[in-house]
Structure 1
């Protein structure tokens, strides 16, 4: 227990309390925004927007071809503020151009795709504009982390979700599903405009950085592919439910049943977000990494058990908050929560540790294998069990990727640093 307390104290010393409290508030606000949309927009029409948005969500990490991930890892290794700012400027300019190109390609492709519902193509084209604004907002937050300014990072995240609630309510009330889509588009853009000046970057000052080479771009590219497949692992259930069952109400139901389990991922995200720069700086210190891993797993094993217990006791009450009819999906909620425990305890930690040692291509291999398995299992389980089948598949995949990431990390870490972990 003392080790866990020391781990928590170390986390708090890096302004982790700001990240934790604002992340909870942000998740609650995001939850509230989703609830507002459900109250104001009919399930079928909302399902069309959700379906299109899930396609965009797994493409978003490709914005900038992963240059944002390169900023996080390589920026952590730079010593001076001037170098970190120069890297940010390089990535901002290149990333915007790449993101715009991806947006144009996606919009053209969506125009020619033949969807069952014509509205899907329209919303896919409209929502594709999120790719660029999300990339800009993401690198602004990363730069705050590199500056070890977790307070501003937290404030940016909180502000985003406050604006999201305001826009979702205002625009959905007036323009229904179109307003909801517009709120998703403008929120990251406006938040970026508010916070970019707080980086205090000298925009005209440029430095030539030796770290920008083929390995830098390779790292970012595989990181983006890994994030794409990771997002697709979450989105694919909704996409396949819509494709196999051809029932947009089931798409909406699974989306809202999965909100609470997937929201629990913020617990590990908070810790990793706070600590990534720190443990990347100390990655060659095997004793530090060994102790970090032990304490993290102990802490999140307890947290996971507690989350499962809470959902078991109060899951139906939580589902009834969305819709009384959703209580029939309690089993799906329970299965997803058990699955999320695998990410909380293993995948969240070891996936990021693999990134910190430069093995983003291993994350890509892991998630690609998981994606193939996901599709196979979903085609078996969804026709047989409906959205419960999708929940079974997700739970299996979450534990599979977590354990596989653990195995890969220990294998490569021992090879790279020669010391036993």
Structure 2
């Protein structure tokens, strides 16, 4: 994998393109759904939905207390089919118990907002159902990945997301907010069409990994993902308390495209995650991977930022209507922040996950979140939503540098 050509050839050989394209389609569907809702809902309703969705985004990575992340990593490392099945069976059962606890806690959060936002409890309730549905969807997806069935993974991911966005468009058009909530609650349960009950009934109850090791990794992975997504939800939640729902709506519009450009890096690395996990002690492999990653994503990041900077007003007007066209500075700041994020935080955060250094990932995620909170309370009061954009971008940059340094310490000790 020394050359870029060999790097891409190995990617295709492992059917990575199926995973990449399916995750790309998922992002496009999510973007289209958000775009449609922005256009049909009043600012106040969209702002309320954004608040609940931001809380949901905090809880989602902690699904099953990290059972899916453990299944993906330890299942990828194991070459024994029996071990993979036993691990999947155990994590499905135990993870679901933890998921019910998590869903209850999510619903309790609604009590914080009940007195301030009308009908928000019912919005939380439908999002709670969605949270449970995502537990099953993510487990089944991880199961496809560990058995090397990337085409099957792509099939389930494409079906769920395309069906979901179509259902959302139809129900939202005819029933407004209520239709939107029903659509998002039902969609992830489509994954049950790929649920194979006989696979679990035939699996044995023992495997070669220690349960303590599995849950230690899973909890740190979930905690890291939770903190990572909290970073991209805390900004909206802080604005909901420091300003109002109109400010939330304007900021949410400005961040929608910048935040979604990272799907290129994330989906690329998710496609390679099983391979990275297997080669976590191979210094030459990791070095070559980083080199070839930068050959692809430095030009991509630079191109995206330049294109967005030149056409910022046209992009906001085209996608979100003229009423949001005044958010060009917020859009530009966030676009720069997320472009750099692809080169630092996305790359080295995922590498630390693949090599098993989840504890360090968690620590840096906590530090990054603390930085965001500190920067925000200082800058939002002075600069409004522009201050929040600066705070988030600066926090991501410093966090990315810390992740790079942590991975370097791991890499230099490899033989």
| TM-score range for the pair, normalised by the shorter chain length | over 0.9
Whether the 8 Å contact between 2:106 and 2:128 is mirrored in structure 1 is yes
Q: How far apart, CA to CA, are the structure 2 residues paired with 1:274 and 1:35?
A: 27
Aligned residues: 413
* 1:124 shift after superposition: 2.3
* 1:367 shift after superposition: 0.8
SS at match of 2:199: coil
* Structure 1 residue ranges without an equivalent (≥5): none
Q: How far apart, CA to CA, are the structure 1 residues paired with 2:209 and 2:163?
A: 37
* 1:175 shift after superposition: 2.7
| Structure 2 residue 356 is matched with structure 1 residue 358 | yes
Q: How far apart, CA to CA, are the structure 2 residues paired with 1:179 and 1:383?
A: 36
Offset from partner CA, 1:176-230 (integer Å, 9 cap, x none): 222222222211112x112324x98353322401313212211111111111110
| Structure 2 residue 277 is matched with structure 1 residue 280 | yes
Q: How far apart, CA to CA, are the structure 2 residues paired with 1:203 and 1:184?
A: 31
* 1:39 shift after superposition: 2.4
* 1:277 shift after superposition: 0.3
Whether the 8 Å contact between 2:279 and 2:285 is mirrored in structure 1 is yes
1:13 corresponding residue in structure 2: 13
1:35 corresponding residue in structure 2: 35
Whether the 8 Å contact between 1:49 and 1:177 is mirrored in structure 2 is no
Q: Post-superposition, which runs of at least 4 consecutive aligned residues in structure 1 deviate over 6 A? A: none
Q: How far apart, CA to CA, are the structure 2 residues paired with 1:384 and 1:310?
A: 29
- For normalisation by structure 2, the TM-score amounts to 0.94
SS at match of 1:129: helix
* 1:312 shift after superposition: 1.5
Q: How far apart, CA to CA, are the structure 2 residues paired with 1:20 and 1:216?
A: 27
Q: How far apart, CA to CA, are the structure 1 residues paired with 2:249 and 2:41?
A: 11
1:210 corresponding residue in structure 2: 208
1:184 corresponding residue in structure 2: 184
Whether the 8 Å contact between 1:346 and 1:405 is mirrored in structure 2 is yes
* 1:339 shift after superposition: 0.8
Whether the 8 Å contact between 2:294 and 2:343 is mirrored in structure 1 is yes
* Backbone CA RMSD of aligned residues: 1.9
SS at match of 1:117: coil
Offset from partner CA, 1:93-116 (integer Å, 9 cap, x none): 111111112212332453466541
Q: How far apart, CA to CA, are the structure 2 residues paired with 1:182 and 1:363?
A: 36
Offset from partner CA, 1:352-400 (integer Å, 9 cap, x none): 2211222111111111001011011111222222222111111112212
Whether the 8 Å contact between 2:223 and 2:362 is mirrored in structure 1 is yes
- 1:202/1:97 CA distance change after superposition, 3 Å: closer
Q: How far apart, CA to CA, are the structure 2 residues paired with 1:112 and 1:15?
A: 45
* 1:242 shift after superposition: 1.1
- The structure 1 residue matched to 2:298, chosen from 288, 296, 301, is 301
- For normalisation by structure 1, the TM-score amounts to 0.93
SS at match of 1:258: helix
Q: Which moved more, 1:237-246 or 1:163-172?
A: 163-172
* Structure 2 residue ranges without an equivalent (≥5): none
Whether the 8 Å contact between 2:89 and 2:200 is mirrored in structure 1 is no
- 1:131/1:323 CA distance change after superposition, 3 Å: same
Whether the 8 Å contact between 1:48 and 1:119 is mirrored in structure 2 is no
Whether the 8 Å contact between 1:70 and 1:217 is mirrored in structure 2 is yes
1:138 corresponding residue in structure 2: 138
1:389 corresponding residue in structure 2: 387
| Structure 2 residue 188 is matched with structure 1 residue 194 | no
